[in-house]
Structure 1
Amino acid sequence: MRVGITDIAARAQVSEATVSRVINRRQGVARKTRDAVEQAMAELGYERTTQGRLVAVVTDHVSNPFFADVAERIESALAPHGLKTVLCPAFAGGVQEYDFVSSLVDKGIAAVVFLSASNTVEGADTEAYELLRQRRVPYVGVNGEFADGVAVPVFSTDDLLAAELAVDHLYRLGHRRIGMASGPAGNRPADRRVQGFLTAMARRGIEDAGRWVIRQSYTVEGGQAAVAPLLELGATAVVAASDWMALGAIRGIRRLGRSVPEDVSVVGYDGTGVTEFTDPPLTTVRQPADRLALEVGRSVLALVGNRDVPTGELLFDPELVVRASTAPAPATVPAPAGG
């Protein structure tokens, strides 16, 4: 027998208008009343319709092909089920995130996906998450657990394994002076990639690897800035925390009079299609965009349908893609840059 608003109102002992506001996640309903309606819906087996609902995808990296690819794949996974995604470009942890969430939550928004947004930043403002919980709007994260410590689904690439794959590849090529150009401190993926790098180096008997780590922004300019001090140390290889940083590193290496990969090998991270066509084609650790997006889609559909889903962080294995930006270590290490 089909359950309707009238049935829910009778069970919760509230008006049909109140039930409608709760179903559509609108404001103006006391928490105690909202809880009673939600409980009645669960007891009667009522499932919210998903037709025409919006799913917000919040990200700080719209210009990065990897994040654009993941967002597009999430859209493809949800569209057949009547859900439409809206892309919200917002600085991670900034006021824009809350502005987007608070503006959309009254529009019948079904869920929010934080795609390497405030969920990656240590000490980020939790106001947006609190609003979503108050309004019973589910949310999930990609590549970073949430600062508020609430157990929600998170889908991440295994950054520790990613660093191990990059270091192992370079070590097998004979490199011992391996540097890392990573993202800023306090960014969870960057911190984990650094942790993985240090662990991988220590596993191979290189205990002072901390001095080979340079923290910069996730940009071409950040990668370029990071290579100068690494070459001063005599690095013959660089592990970059993103493909953009890797491309910047290549530019910086060349501007310092060195060649890639003859003098210095470079490994990127993300694995977007464009890296196949760079000069040289970039060796990179590819994130599994397809599997990440698929699991995000499945989780969102289950949450919107009021079904339980596993919480906590689910890790996905990355893949090393070897191209022409890495080669055996040079027989003689060049003198430090500028020397």
Structure 2
Amino acid sequence: MAMDASSGDAPVKRRRASLGSANLAQVAQLAEVSEATVSRVLNRKYGVSPATRQAVEEALREVGYERPMNNELVLMLTPNLLNPIFAQQADKIESELSPHGLKSIICQVYPGTPQERDYVEALIDSGVAAIVFLSASNTLLKADHRVVQLIASRGIPFVSINGGFPETVAPVVSTDDWRAAEIAVAHLHDLGHRRIGMLAGPVDNIPADRRVDGFIQAMERRGIDDPEQFVARKHFNFEGGQQAASALLALGVTGLVASSDEMALGAYRAVARAGLSVPHDVSVIGYDDSALLDFTAPPLTTVRQQTERIAENVGRIVTSLIAQRPVGTDEILIDPELHLRGSTAIPPVQG
């Protein structure tokens, strides 16, 4: 677990939400519950049914009560801080929350495992006001999602990035992965490539599945037959990219669309080991974008996730949820951008 610099070295003290006794009685009357139950909801204690909690929350909104945000904690769950995209996203979200007096705790977890739930359970009584699933178990369709049941039982609001939990209705902010695939395919097709392959992430990973769908649709719109044969699904890392690229190069592809920058750099290795070069023989497009890509050989063209726009939306949603202001639950899709560098070119002349 890593706490960002804004939280300082002092221990975090839990601060309970306060409500005057007169208003407490008014809320209890409106919700048709006891004042003790209202208190439990205010302090997010166990032992309150979802229906009762909802009734109390609605009564709190009716009397105009907003939970204060000073010294509150926002827990961010992410799978990997070594990947620049997750570290960058977490930093930008923290910058959006800090002006509101909110402090971030960033936890690196193995999504969909008991570890994710353990982090939440260990910190939930430390004044956690909201939780951000930063591409954690919310991206996995068949993961253990009991962590959401725990959060719901305590009435803690949450928002997900790049895919939501199918069993819950909660705000989601995602990069438009269908659009990302379209942008990449369009660029390679405009250069003259027709045998284009995709280095895709694992099955039942929401962003990976969306990018595959977008790739297939983009290829079919351009009259490419049987595009599924040009999809190789592996892990999002360097080794996965190398394996997927090797399989696709054997099919004679001249352009590769990767589902992460790490996979794209793995494709560089596969191209070199095949006795070919980027971009003279094979063009490669990554996904995410990092300033470090300017220093790869050649610099990697990539589809950029607009992390700052994602952070702006997440910050707005989190502060609204904590203050009990209504927010929409339709997924917000942020358009990606193509960042041209030096890894794409016209395809080689076929002899």
TM-score, structure 1 length as denominator?
0.92
Whichever residue aligns with residue 93 of structure 1, its letter is G
1:275 is aligned to 293
Aligned to 2:11: none
Q: Could you say if the C-alpha distance between residues 62 and 232 of structure 1 is closer, same or farther in structure 2, counting changes exceeding 3 Å? A: same
- Partners of 2:171 and 2:336 lie apart in 1 by 19
Q: How many residues align?
A: 330
- CA contact under 8 A between 1:124 and 1:147: conserved in structure 2? no
After superposition, the C-alpha distances for 1:279-320 in whole angstroms (9 at most, x for unaligned) are 111000001100001100000000000000011211111001
Deviations 1:143-171 (A, max 9, x none): 102131x2211011111111111011111
- Aligned equivalent of 1:237: 255
2:45 matches 1:26:
yes
Contact 1:47 1:306 in 2 (8 A): yes
The offset of 1:110, in angstroms, is 0.5
Task: Measure, in 2, the Cα distance between the counterparts of 1:86 and 1:17.
Answer: 30
Give the AA of the match of 1:218.
Answer: F
1:252 has 2:270 as partner? yes
Q: Separation in 2 of the partners of 1:119 and 1:244? A: 21
In structure 1, stretches of 5+ residues that fail to align are 334-339
Task: Structure 2: state its 5+ residue gaps.
Answer: 1-17
- Alignment partner, residue 123 of structure 1: 142
Aligned to 1:204: 222
CA distance in 2, matches of 1:225, 1:238: 13
- Alpha-carbon distance, 1:124 to partner: 2.2
Among 318, 328, 331, which residue is 2:336 paired with?
318
Match of 1:217, SS state, is coil
Alpha-carbon deviation of 1:33? 6.0
> Relative to 1, partners in 2 of residues 1:30 and 1:234: Cα closer, same or farther, differing over 3 Å?
closer
Question: Residue 4 in 1 paired to residue 19 in 2?
Answer: yes
Q: How far off is 1:8 after superposition?
A: 3.3
Q: Distance in 2 between matches of 1:298 and 1:78?
A: 9
1:179–1:31 CA distance, 2 compared to 1 (3 A): closer
Are 2:68 and 1:49 equivalent residues in the alignment? yes
Seen in structure 2, the aligned counterparts of structure 1 residues 33 and 291 have a Cα distance that, compared at 3 Å, is: closer
Deviation readout 1:193-231 (Å, 9 max, x if unpaired): 011111111111112111111000000111011111111
Per the TM alignment, residue 125 of structure 1 is displaced from its structure 2 partner at its CA by 2.1
1:336 matched to which residue of 2? none
Distance in 2 (CA, whole Å) between partners of 1:38 and 1:170 is 52
Letter in structure 1 aligned against 2:307:
A
Secondary structure at the residue paired with 2:319?
helix
Does the 8 A contact of 2:48 with 2:153 survive in 1? Answer: no
Instruction: Give the aligned partner of residue 9 of structure 2.
Output: none
User: 3-state SS of the aligned residue for 1:210?
Assistant: helix
Mapped partners of 1:299, 1:310: distance in 2? 9
Give the residue type in structure 1 aligned to 2:228.
G
Out of 157, 168, 171, which is 2:189 matched to?
A: 171
Q: Is the 8 A contact 1:5 1:16 kept in 2?
A: no
Cα deviation per residue 1:231-282 (whole Å; 9 max; x = unaligned)? 1111111100001100111112112211111111100001122112211110
Three-state SS of the structure 1 residue aligned to 2:94 is helix
Match of 2:117 among 95, 98, 107: 98
Match of 1:58 in 2: 77
Q: Does 1:332 align with 2:350?
A: yes
How many angstroms apart in 1 are the aligned matches of 2:197 and 2:54? 53
The change in CA–CA distance for 1:87 and 1:283 in structure 2 (over 3 A counts) is same
Provide the C-alpha distance between the structure 1 equivalents of 2:324 and 2:22, rounded to a whole number of angstroms. Answer: 18
| Match runs of 1:190-201 below 5 Å | 190-201=208-219
